[in-house]
Structure 1
């Protein structure tokens, strides 16, 4: 119910009254093929003034050569080349920092090479939330739909994550964002010394930065079809598992209040199944527990359907009960693994 209340507080985005210049920053490692698709889509954005800054982070493919040629064709595309990173500094954070410092404009819009904007109005949608009091604009980045149970689960897990951080932000307590679709001010990034407090941590260039500096007063969110940036999903359970371990491993660095609230949410989700199912076999409680479980599944299905439409993409509500059950086991395994993991990587 809390999430439904939070999402319902988001009204229609205000009509854009100004088009402030935007620097789109992308850190790429061996992403030549993805950049072939992404860069033309970004250059086709219907927006008066923007640039694209691509950081070639020690790529082993032909990313550098391709970007060098493309930058000659359109002045809006620029490249920052990284040959090496300083010791004990995470490569992606270092690359993003160089890209932001090289950016010409105040507003920085982040995405990844394997992302695709849903429409040529993406920049317009993001900029509609720019104001003097705003430092952060948070968007979502669902995964493309392909056949298979893994893809259903990836999209379900991503939807739940978006529901959580959007609801918290709309209720005045932002705690994270995704670097595939997020904007913030360059001056604020430099004033706060960027990622200085966790340069050696893999991950956190998006959620930890928001967790440290976003407030209810300086943060806006964007929803709807034109705000979406789709990502290419993992195709194996093992690669998805490694990705989520990397994402979840930084959660232990969140502010205490956010760790507590998120931990409480996860704990109650798991207890619903791990305690609820055994209680079904207690004769005196069978009908009561069954009723609670059915009510919970119905409520979750309604939430998933409402939230996906609100965010701008429909999710198949009929499979929510199965994914709900799988999610409890998924979080038990990934949560514990992320908690004890000491070494995770972005890329080689």
Structure 2
């Protein structure tokens, strides 16, 4: 009788244990990355079509500092929004480029527009948060919809689509997606990739019942929630965080909803130089130090496994170790990455050129490592 088949599991285990340490590390990081991508994919794949609520009154709030040209583009887009009852609250934050005069003249002819002016910011208060606080307090409606002056709604149904979720009594916060306009060049491709990648993370986790951030370019919440929790008081002196820190502190799986699709999209003007982009991202990432511990742990795990996967792949590949394992793992993760981006972009209502996805994913590792280290030691950043 042949007993050799009994020892197959033992031989497999022995062979596995005698693999080079770098290959074992690669397999561990590969496995974790596959699990993470499957969680993202499941969140988007299982999303049900959202229920439409009633046309409740909405206040669109914009804080602007020296944004004259951008306001000239944005405000007409907001005036034409297909919502039956909304106002636009534009806060002029100490502008010296003619913004005040422009808003003053607009206010004479546009009944939808309400203008709030900031002349001075109190000591130890972040200027943008102070401007937003005045705008929210001046808003006459319960539902607050936030965006920035350099943003453009993709649709004239943006206000309606981003606020319809408030027809459900349990919704206090609604998250939207804001992307960047497509332009030529590697920088623009990377900015758009980084923004979609970030959106995949925070939207998929919110859909999974674990919301941890939102973007102020496309975010809605109830005024009552803002006032009851004293607005940005817990992080008033931190530059940034008027969006993600507020959501991080007050959002839960029960009170937070998500709006997806082309009608909910906001597009922003991207940076045109690497230095400006890096400064912007350092400001954004530095705020992450103030997230709840469980969110920092999850995001740290996502970043660590991403870095570990590529590092172990390159190191083992250079040493020509187990090429079949490396190639198989690389192909499997790449297929899942493409499937995740394709599914998410379809849900977002956006087209993204996927031909360079692997390259962008590769350089993202070194970008995030560099920016993360700089953000960790950055103490002061400014609201321009």
Structure 2 length-normalised TM:
0.89
Paired position in structure 2 for 1:135: 172
Paired position in structure 2 for 1:227: 264
Is the Cα–Cα contact under 8 Å of residues 34 and 114 in structure 1 kept in the other structure?
Answer: yes
Give the deviation of 1:283 after TM superposition. Answer: 3.8
Distance 2:294 2:213 in 1: 13
Task: Note the alpha carbon deviations across 1:282-309, whole angstroms, 9 max, x for none.
Answer: 3442221122122212211121111111
Paired position in structure 1 for 2:51: 14
Task: Note the alpha carbon deviations across 1:255-300, whole angstroms, 9 max, x for none.
Answer: 0000000000001111111221011133442221122122212211
Is the Cα–Cα contact under 8 Å of residues 177 and 266 in structure 2 kept in the other structure?
Answer: yes
Task: Note the alpha carbon deviations across 1:297-330, whole angstroms, 9 max, x for none.
Answer: 2211121111111111011111101101110101
Distance 1:283 1:15 in 2: 56
What are the equivalent positions in structure 2 for 1:1-348 lying under 5 Å apart? Answer: 1-16=38-53, 18-130=54-166, 131-347=168-384
Distance 1:307 1:134 in 2: 23
Distance 1:123 1:199 in 2: 28
5+ long unaligned stretches in structure 1: none
Is the Cα–Cα contact under 8 Å of residues 111 and 181 in structure 1 kept in the other structure?
Answer: yes
Is the Cα–Cα contact under 8 Å of residues 280 and 289 in structure 1 kept in the other structure?
Answer: yes
Is the Cα–Cα contact under 8 Å of residues 70 and 149 in structure 2 kept in the other structure?
Answer: yes
Distance 1:15 1:89 in 2: 38
- Greater length-normalized contact order (CA 8 Å, ≥ 6 residues apart): 2
Task: Note the alpha carbon deviations across 1:15-56, whole angstroms, 9 max, x for none.
Answer: 34x100000000000001000010010010011010000000
Distance 1:64 1:34 in 2: 13
Is the Cα–Cα contact under 8 Å of residues 280 and 290 in structure 1 kept in the other structure?
Answer: no
Paired position in structure 1 for 2:27: none
Task: Note the alpha carbon deviations across 1:209-249, whole angstroms, 9 max, x for none.
Answer: 00000000000000001000101100111100000000000
Q: What is the number of equivalent residue pairs in this alignment?
A: 346
Q: Which has the larger radius of gyration?
A: 2
- Report the structure, 1 or 2, having the larger helix content: 2
Is the Cα–Cα contact under 8 Å of residues 63 and 131 in structure 2 kept in the other structure?
Answer: yes
CA RMSD, 1 decimal: 0.9
Distance 2:112 2:55 in 1: 16
5+ long unaligned stretches in structure 2: 1-37
Moved more, 299-308 or 157-166: 299-308
